[in-house]
Amino acid sequence: MPVGTQGTVKGIELSLLRATGTQMILANAYHLMLRPGVEVVEALGGLHRFCGWTGPILTDSGGFQIYSLAQMTQITEQGARFRSHVDGRSWELSPEQAIQIQEALGSDVAMVLDHVVGLPAPLEVVREAAERTVRWAQRCQQAAKRPDQALFAIVQGGLDIPIRLECLRQLVELDFPGYAIGGLSVGETPEQMREVLRAIAPVMPADKPRYLMGVGRPEDMLDAIALGVDMFDCVLPTRNGRNGWAFTDQGVVRIRNQRYERDDRPLEEGCSCPACERSRGYLRHLFLSGEMLGPVLLSLHNIWYYQRLMAQARAAIEEDRFDQFRLSKQELWRRHKDKEDQEDQEA
């Protein structure tokens, strides 16, 4: 799911977003609550009509944003008290309010309000947050009233496998339509993240969607798919695109690099995205000239690349060759990175 935090995937017009193969997007209840306000979105016909997207939308409840963005956050059993990062205004958000907001927005999938902690953290803090996440999930479930909105629970527990497994066990007993793995990409190493996924993802309900929140490096996604994960979101494709990084099968192309000044090749041979209709030299020129088209084109290319990667993964699973597909892709990326590191050292 491309991230459309505030009701828009930055810089990408909807017809182009559909052309990438995108089926579903993510928006964020925390950001929309602060600006323009839930009442405004509801008055303008709900989130789908407000932003013009006719496909499914998932809204995150705001637990991660309260952890990462809000000022002067205080977590109690009732909910979260915080100051807006936009204007400093004081807010309170309970599990019941998180559901009320998402139901007013009208998303197709809503997320429970969870308690996110940064890593590393003391074990007792991690355990307390995971236990509170379960209690909040139950309150969210009891508050939910829209039959046309699926409510997903979020497994917390930091890097502690027993805490994660117990959190998952209790959430499965509550029988949610889907389950997410949250609280990763908050300070742990890639290997620590993989250890958690290896322990948790395979024992999540196989008949319910399994969603890894906020993780989006291509190599991490393929590893997670191998363990049974179905859904992903991450700002990486668009954020990196805006900063001149393009994902390809040959690895990351840093388009501002001097080596691309007279490079007449596309970002990636065989890619049919609008960015690849231009040369690397032209794309570099756009970035160095401060032209907004450069970030838009690279963001679009990256979404195109990610959606193609997911389509290829689905096909490989159907043809029972996913492990071979994953390993060959990862080897390709590794070889390119080693070559680029060597060239940089020689330069």
For residue 160, the Cα-to-chain-centroid distance in whole angstroms is 22
CA distance 122 to 297: 43
| CA 248 from centroid of its chain's CA atoms | 19
**CA-wise closest residue to 25 among 62, 60, 58:** 58
Q: What is the DSSP letter of 69?
A: T
Distance CA 223, CA 198 (A): 9
List all residues 6 or more positions away from 110 whose beta carbon is below 8 Å from its beta carbon. Answer: 29, 58, 59, 61, 99, 102, 103, 144, 149, 150, 151, 152
Instruction: Write the DSSP assignment of 274-337 as a string of letters.
Output: GGGGS-HHHHHHHHHTT-THHHHHHHHHHHHHHHHHHHHHHHHHHTT-HHHHHHHHHHHHHHHH
Instruction: Reply yes or no on whether 160 is catalytic.
Output: no
Query: Which of 60, 220, 223, 249 does the annotation list as catalytic?
Result: 60
Q: How far apart are CA 99 and CA 61, in angstroms?
A: 8
Asked about 233 being catalytic, the answer comes back as: yes
Question: Sign of the C-alpha dihedral, residues 132, 137, 139, 140?
Answer: positive
Residue of 114, 223, 233, 249 with catalytic role: 233
Distance, in Å, from the CA atom of 140 to the CA atom of 146, rounded to the nearest integer, reads 12
Phi, psi (degrees; rounded to nearest 5) at 247: -85, 135
Active site residues: 60, 233
